[in-house]
Structure 1
Amino acid sequence: FLVMATQNPLEQHGTYPLPESQLDRFMMRLSIGYPDADEERNVILQSAGGMDSIDRIRPVLDAGSVLALQERVDTVHADASIVDYLMSIVQATRAEPRYRAGASTRAAIALLRAARGYALVDGREFLVPDDVRRLAVPVLAHRLLPAGATSATGEAYEEAVSVLDELLGRVAVPV
């Protein structure tokens, strides 16, 4: 099954940070930001005109296509050197004293699966190191809690990203 969730980006009353065990079950954390000016203008105009947006939504894939793509992801080749690179990143998070705990095995599996998905969307049936590097932050950072943090706040996430970026710069990339 497939679940997508949204999270309030601001620390506001009535919102509570998720515990680490639940954060580890989310494959990725992505921020889409604000729409550009033209897109936002269209949203405002459509909303102001009383047009019901839900009536204009059209599917881009049916359920069978989504399942077929999920199965194809597993066929994307991951060379041993790429898996070793991925493991070096994960192990670097575990050895990093600025994290309370490093990335889990579940996180490593998610990173491999996400990298395979990225390669597939990019039209390849094999992984390259940049697939892993490009997805390391979206897949790993929300799972990593800085040593001094008591909960997964926005500040803790930003610190986790900063440390992870530094680690990614130190881990040797296969050629």
Structure 2
Amino acid sequence: MDKVIALAQRLQANIGKVIVGKEEETELLLTALLAGGHVLLEDVPGTGKTLLAKSLAASLSLGFQRIQFTPDLLPSDLTGSHYYNQKDGEFHFRPGPLFTQIVLADEINRATPRTQSSLLECMDERQISVEGITMPLERPFLVMATQNPIDNQGTFPLPEAQMDRFMIKMRLGYPTAGEGVEILKRTLGEGGGTSVIAPVASAAEVLEAQRLCEEVRVSGDLLGYIVALAEATREHPETALGVSPRGTQVLLRASKALAALRGRSFVLPDDIKQLLVPVCAHRLVPKRRYGVQEQTAERLLLDIAAKVPVPSEEGVEGGVR
């Protein structure tokens, strides 16, 4: 796992030139990247959502497109369309901005549901279909989306099917007092933003790290633990919709990537417990009478994690890949 650790350290150090603090959030972002997942950054304006996403993109030698989502954005604006060339009398395809490797979908909830749904195929299957023609996307492929949970005017909440395509949903939160001072010091200095960082990793290195993460072992007891957690969400009296089988698959992949980031070739129960909320909270639908959905989902998962028996760490170094 030395290659994975070295790659993660380079990326974290590079992102740290722009982002003050937020080490745990950066680790979650890298976990999604190495597990082949997508990330939804949700927080109030000014907390660094877009800057964090752009910092990761600037640290990688990959194709990058930023798309500002608005109500008038059409699906063809994302996927591309055919146009008629008068010179040769034929139709040609003009690729949209989704034909890249890293997509920043800024304020994704401002686009209409029809436009949002155009992301489903590319996020899940790494391909785009236009007028009956299916075209594969270059790998690695990562979608990082941002949204503001406070401002609901002129927005379209993401449906469960769209939310389910994101491996991790996280909030950045406000900086500490010390971090706030450091941010102001950097503001007074020269330069700033992603202009101060250069790429430190190639596509080949990311793909190799993803392959190594797939080789991380998971014991049979831990597979049962993941299933038990999911079943507990479905059977909980406060839950209208629990974690699906796809959710358990995503939690497994993310746990393997996190273990690799921490230099291990095997998953521990703590890896699963740490990722339970960021991976599963947005897949849970609590019954409305129990309060704010997001806060309730997180509370339910923490309650479930405390009650479901944790397997012994003995023998976790074995297992399946």
Number of corresponding residues: 171
Q: Letter of the aligned partner of 1:132 in structure 2?
A: I
CA shift, 1:146, in A, is: 0.7
Q: 2:220 corresponds to which residue?
A: 80
1:40-83 alpha-carbon deviations (Å, 9 max, x no partner): 44544555667352321223422222111111111000010010
Considering Cα pairs closer than 8 Å and 6+ residues apart, tell me whether 1 or 2 has the greater RCO.
Answer: 1
- Residues in 2 aligned to 1:60 and 1:49: alpha-carbon distance in whole angstroms: 23
- 1:133/1:168 contact within 8 Å kept: yes
From the two aligned structures, give the one with the greater strand fraction.
2
Q: 1:99 corresponds to which residue?
A: 239
- Residue 140 (structure 1) aligned to one of 280, 283, 293: 280
1:134-168 alpha-carbon deviations (Å, 9 max, x no partner): 1111100111011227xxxx921110111111111
Identity %: 40
- Residues in 2 aligned to 1:54 and 1:132: alpha-carbon distance in whole angstroms: 32
- Residue 157 (structure 1) aligned to one of 283, 290, 294: 294
TM-score (norm 1): 0.87
- Residues in 2 aligned to 1:8 and 1:97: alpha-carbon distance in whole angstroms: 30
2:142 is paired with a residue whose SS is coil
Q: 2:201 corresponds to which residue?
A: 61
- 1:46/1:53 contact within 8 Å kept: no
Higher-Rg structure is: 2
Q: Letter of the aligned partner of 1:160 in structure 2?
A: A
- 1:76/1:127 contact within 8 Å kept: yes
Gap runs ≥5 in structure 2:
1-140, 313-321
Q: 2:264 corresponds to which residue?
A: 124
- Residues in 2 aligned to 1:26 and 1:16: alpha-carbon distance in whole angstroms: 17
- Residues in 1 aligned to 2:283 and 2:165: alpha-carbon distance in whole angstroms: 9
- Residues in 2 aligned to 1:2 and 1:33: alpha-carbon distance in whole angstroms: 23
Q: 2:211 corresponds to which residue?
A: 71
Gap runs ≥5 in structure 1:
none
Aligned-residue Cα RMSD (Å) equals: 2.1
Q: Letter of the aligned partner of 1:67 in structure 2?
A: L
Is 2:310 the counterpart of 1:173? yes
- 1:85/1:173 contact within 8 Å kept: yes
The 3 A distance-change label for structure 1 pair 146 and 111 is same
1:9-43 alpha-carbon deviations (Å, 9 max, x no partner): 32432333211111111101111212344544454
CA shift, 1:128, in A, is: 1.0
1:118-138 alpha-carbon deviations (Å, 9 max, x no partner): 100111000111111111111
> Relative to structure 2, which stretch is displaced further, 78-87 or 15-24?
15-24
Q: Letter of the aligned partner of 1:113 in structure 2?
A: R
